[in-house]
Amino acid sequence: MQANSGAKLGIGVIGCGNISMTYLRNAALFAGVELRACADISAEMAVLRGKEYGIRALGVDALLADPEVDLVLNLTIPAAHFDISFSALSAGKHVFTEK
**pLDDT greater than 70 at residue 4:** no
Instruction: Give residue 98's pLDDT band: very low, low, confident or very high (50, 70, 90).
Output: confident
Contact between 64 and 88 (Cβ < 8 Å) = yes
Q: What is the pLDDT of residue 3?
A: 55
Contact between 36 and 68 (Cβ < 8 Å) = yes
| Domains, the chain | 9-97 (3.40.50.720)
N-to-C CA span, the chain? 26
**16-71: per-residue pLDDT in tens?**
999 999 999 999 899 999 999 999 999 999 999 999 999 999 999 999 999 999 99
Considering all CA atoms of the chain, what is the largest pairwise distance in Å, rounded to the nearest integer?
Answer: 37
**pLDDT greater than 90 at residue 85:** yes
The residue-averaged pLDDT of 69-94 equals: 97
Sequence-separated contacts (24+) of 95-99 with Cβ below 8 Å: 95/71, 96/71, 96/72, 97/73, 98/15, 98/19, 98/73, 98/74
Sequence-separated contacts (24+) of 24-31 with Cβ below 8 Å: 24/49, 24/52, 24/53, 25/53
Which neighbouring-strand residues pair with 73? 13, 96
